[in-house]
């Protein structure tokens, strides 16, 4: 990690409506349809918005997370963020925060995600979120808006948040909420390949189709578009440039969940430190690889990030 990134700590705000309380269960061998007893378990705050904030905290950056939380998960998340030293602005909700469970099969390396949808927010809760978001923006150098919108939330919600945002913004979303945000000219949007296909309404089964869809997002207002594809190549479209990022080799993947969130956090951290987008993408890509080494999303080691940064390679695409 360049010293300018490690030492700089301008405020980054991360906001989203779909946090989660995450349980990770490890099995020597997972047998579908049978009684399975976990050999180990871990619990922690998660969901895209909180994963980004936790990654930033582990990178040593000043971060403020804004999210709705309800029930026992709210108190647990607040306690965890206090222990991590990360500022958490909680919008209380009547509905309980969703629970998500990750099943790790150590015999095959397979990861199974059991995801509960986020509960709908009331109009007054959405208003309270907007108020909390605007209050959190003071002194922000970069904003990251991430995660799906709960059912009933206007698809213009991220667009409306950006109307109050005067710093560079990163959008990690899909579908109508992503398309609606583009008119506010975010610095970076980063759907994965599947999410982008759902957004544009057709399969992206070739690189040519993928690049066409990415250029469409750019023409609609995104300055940079980064599309990930699991452990395969990433693709980037920016002002007058297109390139492909080579996947990094991780010897032993503990848990791949949250790699995209760590990528967004790394890009935000480098951007806040004054790095140009291409360098920020390298930093984010290294953060994603470092996340593979952690059981709980976002709990990355900056030393791993530095090691992976030296290995990131890109190739221009005509």
The Cα 58–Cα 63 span in angstroms is: 10
| pLDDT value for 11 | 95
CA distances for 57 relative to 67, 107, 172, 253, 292, angstroms: 16, 32, 19, 22, 17
Contact yes or no for 264/18 (Cβ under 8 A): no
Dump pLDDT digits (tens) for 195-220: 999 999 999 999 999 999 999 999 99
| Phi, psi dihedrals of residue 178, rounded to the nearest 5° | -70, -50
What is the secondary structure of 267-311 as a DSSP string? HHHHHHTT--HHHHHHHHHHHHHHHTT-SSTT---HHHHHHHHTT
pLDDT band at 9 (very low <50, low <70, confident <90, very high): low
What is the model's pTM? 0.94
Q: Quick count: other Cβ atoms within 10 Å of Cβ 219?
A: 9
Report helix, strand or coil for 71: coil
- pLDDT confidence band for 72 (50 / 70 / 90): confident
Question: What SS3 state is found at 135?
Answer: helix
* Average pLDDT value for residue range 184-193: 97
Mean pLDDT to the nearest integer, 87-96? 96
Residues 6+ apart with CB under 8 A from 205: none
Query: What per-residue confidence (pLDDT) applies to 1?
Result: 43
From CA 215, how far away is CA 217, in angstroms rounded?
5
Q: Which residue has the higher pLDDT, 105 or 6?
A: 105
Q: DSSP state, 185?
A: -
Domains of the chain: 3-316 (3.40.1190.20)
Strands 110-115 and 140-146 turn out to be: unpaired
pLDDT for the residue 4: 42
Average pLDDT over residues 45-72: 95
**pLDDT, the chain, mean:** 94
Q: Which residues contact 74 (CB under 8 A, 6 or more apart)?
A: 90, 92, 97
pLDDT given for residue 6 in this prediction: 44
Angle at CA of residue 120, ends 114 and 124, nearest 5°: 150
Give how far the C-alpha of residue 52 lies from the chain's centroid of Cα atoms, to the nearest Å: 5
Alpha carbon distance 108, 163 (integer Å): 47
Which letter does DSSP use for residue 198 in this model?
Answer: H
For the stretch 259-296, pLDDT in tens is 999 999 999 999 999 999 999 999 999 999 999 999 89
> Residue 51, class by beta-carbon neighbours within 10 Å (0-12 exposed, 13-18 middle, 19+ buried)?
buried
Token readout for 248 is 């990094």
Q: Which two tokens stand for residue 110?
A: 């397979």
Question: How many residues would you count in the chain?
Answer: 318
In whole angstroms, what is the distance from residue 308 CA to residue 301 CA? 11
Once rounded to an integer, what is the mean pLDDT over residues 152-159? Answer: 98
Strand segments (E) across the chain = 11-15, 20-27, 40-46, 63-69, 87-92, 99-105, 110-115, 140-146, 169-172, 188-189, 224-227, 234-238, 241-245, 314-316
**What's residue 3's pLDDT?**
40
Confidence band for 252, pLDDT divided at 50, 70 and 90: confident
pLDDT value of residue 210: 96
């Amino acid at each position: 990690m360049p010293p300018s990134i490690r030492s700089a700590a301008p405020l980054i705000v991360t906001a989203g409506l779909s946090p989660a309380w995450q349980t990770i269960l490890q099995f020597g061998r997972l047998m579908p349809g049978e009684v399975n007893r976990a050999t180990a378990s871990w619990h922690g705050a998660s969901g895209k918005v909180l994963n980004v904030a936790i990654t930033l905290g582990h990178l040593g950056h000043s971060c403020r997370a804004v999210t709705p939380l309800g029930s026992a998960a709210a108190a647990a998340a607040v306690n965890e963020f206090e222990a991590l030293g990360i500022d958490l602005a909680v919008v209380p909700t009547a509905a309980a925060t969703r629970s998500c469970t990750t099943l790790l099969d150590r015999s095959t390396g397979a990861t199974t995600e059991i995801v509960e949808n986020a509960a709908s927010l009331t109009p007054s809760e959405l208003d309270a979120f907007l108020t909390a978001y605007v209050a959190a923006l003071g002194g922000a150098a970069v904003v990251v808006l991430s995660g799906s919108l709960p059912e009933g939330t206007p698809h213009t919600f991220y667009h409306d948040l950006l109307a109050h945002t005067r710093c560079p913004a990163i959008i990690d979303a899909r579908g109508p909420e992503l398309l609606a945000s583009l008119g506010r000219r975010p610095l970076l949007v980063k759907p994965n390949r599947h999410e982008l296909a759902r957004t544009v309404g057709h399969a992206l089964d070739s690189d040519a189709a993928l690049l066409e869809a990415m250029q469409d997002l750019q023409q609609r207002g995104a300055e940079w578009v980064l599309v990930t594809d699991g452990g395969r190549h990433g693709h980037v479209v920016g002002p007058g440039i297109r390139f492909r990022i080579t996947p990094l080799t991780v010897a032993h993947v503990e848990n791949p969940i949250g790699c995209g969130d760590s990528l967004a956090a790394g890009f935000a951290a480098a951007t806040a430190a004054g790095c140009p987008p291409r360098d920020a993408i390298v930093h984010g890509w290294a953060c994603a690889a470092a996340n593979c080494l952690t059981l709980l999303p976002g709990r990355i080691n900056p030393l791993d990030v530095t090691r992976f940064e030296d290995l990131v390679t890109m190739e221009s695409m005509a």
